[in-house]
Chains A and B, each alone.
Chain A
Amino acid sequence: MHTLDKDDFAPDFVLQTIEGQSVSLQQSLQGKNSILLVFLRHLG
């Protein structure tokens, strides 16, 4: 399986906020110069 790396295009996703609102990556890109995705560890 190919591991995403620099210059690849990021796969789209749809996730929910804690309020239950659906947010997609593509939607988030609109009108923005860049996206910073921060993947957390556990919240403990």
Chain B
Amino acid sequence: MQFSEEELINGCIKGDRLMQKMLYERFCKRMLAVCLRYSKAQQEAEDILQESFIKIFDHIKTFRRECPLEQWIKRIVINTALKHNRSKLYMYPALDIEDLEKPVDENITLSDFHYKELLEMIQQLAPRYQIVFNLYAIEGFQHKEIAQMLGITEGTSKSQFARARALLQQMIIEKKRVNYERYT
């Protein structure tokens, strides 16, 4: 039986465990994909997802329906992931934007890659690069917003994003080269 979002929300507000499970099942796969982008492994991502859903069920009565439910849930998942990774954000010294290497190739296309391959590359980044790249490139936040969310300067956010972007480009080129050699 397919419940509407409204029914799921109301059921969860009442603490109906069945509705909570339905809501979980509806969004868990997409949210796990989000968690995986902010973590290094499946187990860590599942920990984040578990914590996120507990928060979701706790606070669903505060959901004001001003945005789609999925967006609200995703925001909670991202916040939980950030909280989970906050301690890792300052493990590496920040680079100035001027110190960055020039992009390797601006015309890189990703259509040849499955998302899991791209996910593996993102997971190989240092945590702060991984987070800033996710927030800027995939979630679409501005550097100013990212700086506020992470408690860093806007410049730091930009520099870390640039570094992450460059690293990913290098990884993609390398991957393309390996694939090319494999098939030729």
- A and B: bona fide binding partners: no
* Residues of A near any B CB (own CB < 8 A): none
* Residues of B near any A CB (own CB < 8 A): none
